Every structure is written in C-alpha cells, then in structure tokens.
Structure 1
Amino acid sequence: MIVYSLHCSNGHRFEGWFASAEAYAAQRASGRVACPACDDRSVGKLPSAPYVNTGRGDVAQASVKPDGREGTPVANVMSAMKAFLLANTENVGRRFPEVARRMHYGEESHRGIRGRVTTEEAQALEEEGVPAVALPPALALGEDVH
C-alpha cells in the first residue's frame, strides 16, 4: 500500500491510497482518480516525506471521546462515519442493484442508499456506470452493505 498527498487543479489537497505506484499511474491515466471535494480529474502528486517503518511498534495514543470513553482518533472518525451513514442512507438490502439502477436512470428520486450485492452484481453496476461504493469492513453497519 502506498499513500500519496494529492491536489487538484482547483487547489484542493487530499490523500490517496493505492496498491502500488503502478496502480496509481494506471488509475490516474484512466481518469479514475478524482478530487473528493470537486470531482476534478486533473490530479497530481504533491511532494511529501516518505514513511519509513522503523519496526519500533509505535502506537497512536488513545484520545477521549465526548462520552468520556477512550478511543484512537481513527476509531473516533470511523464511529462518526458509521453514525452519518446510518442517519443519511436507507437500507434497501438485497434490492440495492435494482434501486441503484432506477435512480441512475431517473426512474426513482436520488437519495443515499445502502444494501447488499454480490461480486457479479457490483461488476454489472460498474459496467453500466451506476455509481456504487463498497464500504470497508471497518464501517460494517451490522449488515453486509455496498
């Protein structure tokens, strides 16, 4: 895994994670790297210091959550993201591909949805140009979601 500091032509800065330098180059060349703030696809790398794993096993210090419990900054962000997704999306379950297509083709009003898809269904949605994002396991909402 390689992490790049990126910027778009509109001046937004963001971080991108890629399997390798070659994966970044291929995704950028195919127009699949876009600014999360403005969707600009004119993206470039910013100079950044390389990360060197010293093997010392340094661990991030825990922070205190608003409720007084401790957690790492990453855990706090993930918790906030879960809460946001639960509050702002509708669980359509196994109907996800059908509902996503209807919204994409204007047959249904656009809204945030989540649900379950098979690998084949996810590939079919991508081939049709229907936007869908797989959620990482760390954002599991107590259900298999896409």
Structure 2
Amino acid sequence: MIQFSLKCDEEHVFDSWFQSASAFDALKAAGHLFCTVCGSNDVSKAIMAPRVSTQAEAAPEKPLQTAQSDQEKALTKMRREVEKNADYVGPRFAEEARSMYLGTTPERAIYGEANGAEAKALIDDGVPVMPLPFLPNRKAN
C-alpha cells in the first residue's frame, strides 16, 4: 500500500491510499478518481515530502490509530447510507440509470460504476446522476 497526497483542479488537497503506484495510474486512466471535497475527476498527485527515518530514530511499532477529520467522518457516514439504502449495480450503472429515466424499469436508488464517457452521456441526456466521493465496494447488496 502507498499513500499519495492528491489535489484536484480546484486546488483541494487530500490523501488517499492505493495498492501501488500503478494502481493509482490505472484508476486515474479509467476516470475513477474524484476529489473528496468537490467531486471533480481532474485529480493528480500533489507534491509531498517522503517520510524517511533511520533505524536509530525509528520508534517501536505501535498499532496505527487513525483520527478521522470531520470530512472523513461525513464521507464514512455517506458511504454507509448509500450502501444501506441503494442497490449496487456495478458496471451496469449507466444502463440501469438510463432504463429508470426512460421508465422501462421501476425507479429505485442505485449506485455503481460508470466510465467518464458513460457518465457524460447520462448527464448530456438529462439523467440525474452524481459522482460519489468514494469507490463503491465491489459486491452486490
């Protein structure tokens, strides 16, 4: 795992963990990175200082304690609400959202995955959608 400091085109700065540097690149190329503040998907790595210590300076390992900011707490709450109250449709999101918009399937709360082109087409056609500031869990409810 690697932690990157990220920023969006609106200059919002936030941190996120990735499986690897190439995982970051793949998510960025697929259009799956979004600003946790404004939702912009124009996200890049910000300048950051490496965390380096010598063996003599290294403290004994302690369990990590993560203090959540108010923003992180709000995002966690949002994720729980979405996962509790909406159906995960995975990569069928664009198809499902369009089908509900056209009235061919009953309306319900859904969330899932769409690439940039699919999302833009939905928005251009007036389908009410919005990006979530987190990646969905890849499991159906």
Greater relative contact order (CA < 8 Å, ≥ 6 in sequence): 2
Q: TM-score, normalised by structure 2?
A: 0.50
